[in-house]
Amino acid sequence: MDLSTEESAEVFNFNHKIFQIPGNRFALSASDHQPVLLMDVGEHAAAITFEALHQEFNLDPEGEDSKLLDLVAQGLKYVRDIRPGDTIPRELLDGSASWSVEDRHRERAKNGFMFRIALLGAPNGGITKAPDNLGAFLESSDGKMFVQSGLDLIGQKIGLGEGRAPTVAQHADQIMRELAYIEGLRERYVHVSRIVDKLDQVAQHHSSKRHFVDEIQRCKVLMGPPVKNFRDAFHDVDTRMKQVAETLKAVDEQVVFIRETRDRLHQKMLIWDELIEKWDFKIEGKSKHNRQMVQMTYQFVAQYFRRMSTGCSAPPSPPRRPTPRPLPFRAASTTLHGEPTTSLNAYREAPR
C-alpha cells in the first residue's frame, strides 16, 4: 500500500463485512498483548485474533484488508484502540506524533533550547547562571542580543558562513517543535515518580504492618528499573541538545533521534496511564483503599516489569482493560462465559 499517493491510505477503510459491524474495534488482548478484533456480543466482548480473522473469513493475505491489519498491529503501539474508519496514526504516515502537546510544553522546549543558543552568544561573564525566568530573560534586550550572536556564531561553526542567522533559526525551530513532545512526556513522567512518593506515604501510615510495608518495598524495587529508564531517556535527550551547534548541523538526524525517543517514551507511558489515574487521590491516614492500591500496583509492576529486574526486556505493550480470551470462532455458534454468541455466518464471504 502506497501511503504517500493513495488518499484513502490515511484511513482504516476495510472492505470485508466483519469490519463494518458497529462497535467493532481493535486493541491489544489483556492476556498476551497481541492485536485482536473486539466485538460486542450481548453484554460481553469477544476477541478474535488476526490469525482467526484470516482463516475464518478467507481474507486474501495480499489484499488491502490484510495490509490494513498489518498497519493496525503497528498502530496499536501508539494508540490504545483503533476503529474501522479511524485515521492511521501519524507516526506511521510521516513520523509526526498522533497526540498533541500544550503551549506550556512548546514554551519550555523553546526557552530551554534558545537559552543554550544565548549561552554560546554571550561574552565571558555575560551569563553567570540560568535566570529564574528563562522566558523573561530571552525577551530582554540582553537575551535577544545574546541569541542573535549565538545564531551568527553557530552559522559559522556549521559551515553556513556569516549572516545566516535566519537559516540557523529555522533549523532551531524544527528542533524545538520536536522537543515540545519530550517536554509533554517529561510532565507525564512526573506522575509516575509521584506513585513512588505515595507508596512511601502509605508505608508511613501503615508502618505497624510489617508484611504490608514489605510488599510496598517490593513494589518499589520492581518500579526501579522502568523509572530509571525514563530518567535515562530524558537525560540522553538533554545531553545531546546541549551540543547546540552539532545538533543544528545535522537537523534531520537529530529529528529522527528525538522522534524515536518520543515514540519509545510514549509507548512506555501508555503502560502507566491507567495506574496514574487510579493513584490520583490524596492519602489521608490508614485505609482499605490504600491497601487495595498497593496490591493493584504490585500486580501491575510484577506483570510488566518483573523481567526487567533480572535484565530482560519488559513487554512493550500497554495494559488493557480485561477482555475475554481470544476466540477462534471455528464454529458458527459458540458460547462466551455461558452466554450464546451471535452467529457470524452472515459476515463470512464465500471464497473467491
pLDDT for the residue 62: 93
Asked whether 24 and 39 are in contact (CB, 8 A), the reply is: yes
**Which three three-digit cell numbers place residue 133?**
525566568
pLDDT for the residue 214: 94
**Which ranges in 11-63 belong to alpha helices (H)?**
50-56
113 and 65 share a domain?
no
240 and 338 share a domain?
no
- Determine the 3-state secondary structure of 37 from DSSP: strand
pLDDT for the residue 157: 92
Number of domains in the chain: 2
65 and 150 share a domain?
no
247 and 193 share a domain?
yes
268 and 169 share a domain?
yes
Residues 6+ apart with CB under 8 A from 271: 304, 317, 318, 319
Rounded CA separation 205/191 (Å): 21
CB atoms within 10 A of CB 270: 19
Q: Give the DSSP per-residue string, 102-165.
A: -HHHHHHHHHHHHHHHHHHHSPTTS-SS--S-HHHHHHSHHHHHHHHHHHHHHHHHTT--TT-H
134 and 280 share a domain?
yes
44 and 119 share a domain?
no
pLDDT for the residue 4: 44
Asked whether 319 and 80 are in contact (CB, 8 A), the reply is: no
17 and 67 share a domain?
yes
Q: Which amino acid is at 129?
A: K
- pLDDT in single tens digits along all 352 residues of the chain: 444 444 556 899 999 999 999 999 999 887 778 899 999 888 788 899 999 999 999 999 999 999 999 999 999 999 989 999 999 999 999 999 999 999 999 999 999 999 999 999 998 877 878 888 999 999 999 999 999 999 999 999 999 888 899 999 999 999 999 999 999 999 999 999 999 999 999 999 999 999 999 999 999 999 999 999 999 999 999 999 999 999 999 999 999 999 999 999 999 998 899 899 999 999 988 999 999 999 999 999 988 887 655 444 444 444 444 444 444 443 333 333 333 334 454 444 444 3
For CA atoms 26, 60, 57, 65, the dihedral sign is positive
144 and 190 share a domain?
yes
58 and 123 share a domain?
no
Rounded CA separation 197/220 (Å): 10
- The whole-angstrom distance between residue 56's C-alpha and the CA centroid of its chain comes to 33
pLDDT for the residue 126: 77
**Which three three-digit cell numbers place residue 35?**
492485536
**Which three three-digit cell numbers place residue 169?**
533559526
Asked whether 216 and 294 are in contact (CB, 8 A), the reply is: yes
pLDDT for the residue 331: 33
Q: Which amino acid is at 334?
A: T
Angle at 231 between CA 226 and CA 234, to 5 degrees: 125
183 and 284 share a domain?
yes
pLDDT for the residue 328: 44
Q: Which amino acid is at 191?
A: H
- The answer as to whether 45 is a domain residue is yes
Extended strands (E) in 128-245: none
Asked whether 36 and 106 are in contact (CB, 8 A), the reply is: no
Closest by Cα among 55, 97, 51 to 73? 51
Q: Global pTM?
A: 0.80
Q: Which domain holds residue 268?
A: 106-310
